[in-house]
Amino acid sequence: MVPTEEPSASERAYRLIRDGVLRGTYAPGSMIGEASLAKQFELSRTPVRLALGRLQQEGWIEIFPKRGAVVRGLSERQVAELAGTRLLLESVSVLEAPAKQRELIAERQYLSIEEQDDALAAGELGQFVELTIAFHRGFVEAGGNSIRVELYDHLADRHRFALFATSQDLITRREEIIAEHRQLVRLMVEGDSDEFRASLGKHVSDNGNAP
């Protein structure tokens, strides 16, 4: 068995800060400092500086020399654009998916829905978020287009941010979300791509352009 390679200090800092941004620990508009982050994570300032530079390139923060970094997050427009892009990728993929592939994906998705329900019931939002992202990715996978899957994966962190930003609504709307997910899988299996697109659009809109 090949031992798992430990992440570098800069990679560890990047993951920790990114996770804090996506989960809302560092809220949009808040200031985060290199020194305080280094102390919090028990790291030197150099890997933290590298991590912040990487996050700025990705658009999550904006660095102000000698002052710190401001968390940007996503604007309402960006969240809406994310929802529209997801709707396009998922609905087109389901439209093109062969029946056998739709059935195979559905088996996995029905299991995921049960896990999603359990996660929400237990208040495990992090687990629910990851399950939901993988669930919706399944619709894109069904189409068999690797480029679309790659594009969808590129949007994953934005999807995470949007989901965590609506975390209280996720708990409140648990039953509705789970029922809507079941309906989406059923429509995919039936090959009703028009109704799938309409239901997905309503599902995303009803949940703040996130789930």
- The 10s digit of each residue's pLDDT in 28-65 is 999 999 999 999 999 999 999 999 999 999 999 999 98
Domain that holds residue 59: 9-71
Give yes or no: residues 27 and 126 share one domain: no
What CATH number is attached to the domain comprising 32? Answer: 1.10.10.10
Give yes or no: residues 60 and 142 share one domain: no
Can you tell me the distance from the alpha carbon of 33 to that of 49, in angstroms, rounded to the nearest whole number?
Answer: 10
pLDDT at residue 25 greater than cutoff 90: yes
Both tokens assigned to 163? 């989901």
- The 10s digit of each residue's pLDDT in 114-138 is 999 999 999 999 999 999 999 999 9
Q: Containing H/E element for 34? A: helix 34-41
pTM value? 0.89
What CATH number is attached to the domain comprising 193? Answer: 1.20.120.530
Give yes or no: residues 119 and 160 share one domain: yes
Give yes or no: residues 67 and 103 share one domain: no
Give yes or no: residues 32 and 106 share one domain: no
39 found inside a domain: yes
Sign of CA dihedral 50, 54, 55, 57: positive
pLDDT at residue 143 greater than cutoff 90: yes
Give yes or no: residues 168 and 116 share one domain: yes
Give yes or no: residues 189 and 91 share one domain: yes
